[in-house]
Amino acid sequence: MIRRILVLLTAATLATAGCETGQPKTGEPEKTKLKTETEAEKFLKVNKDSAELFKVLWTSDRYAVAQMAYEDQVKRQDDPGGDKYMAEELKKFDKIDHFCEGVVSISIRPDNGHIAKVRPKELTYLMEIDKLIVEDIQRWNFQFPANVYNPPLRFDVRYRVVLRKQQSDEEIMKEVREKLKEKTPQ
């Protein structure tokens, strides 16, 4: 009898010692946020050896573009309204904590700087996000500074899309149920 009690007590002690709660420890969100910001700045840091000409960091509250090379030959036209709109569009997908990267290869027209071709090169494996990336890149326009005779007309753009869970599981399930009710004929 005493042996059983000791075994159960030991098992209970080990079980409680090995378990962690789902609640973050004090200071953990700040550390995670700082780590994410550091990774974002590292991703956007100009790297002349990068295979991509542009890098895009895309979250539901931030849309940042960094040009890696050829600043004197080609520039992306600023579009703060479009950038804000695309960040808002990403909020629809903030159902999970996830980040993914994808690469898009584009060709631009030398006469006006508009996009001629868009070809996904590396997929994010989230079909909706891949579609959103293609939609985003198609709104870009480029400028060529004066006296540039041979600008790069084909190059790659790397996207890092960061999704952050903003709702509880119950809220997400309620939203999914409502969408299913709308789609289901009655």
Domain edges within the chain: 30-167
Which pLDDT value is given to residue 38? 82
pLDDT single digits (tens) 105-154: 999 998 888 999 999 999 998 999 999 999 999 999 999 887 777 888 99
Can you give the C-alpha Rg of the chain in angstroms? Answer: 24
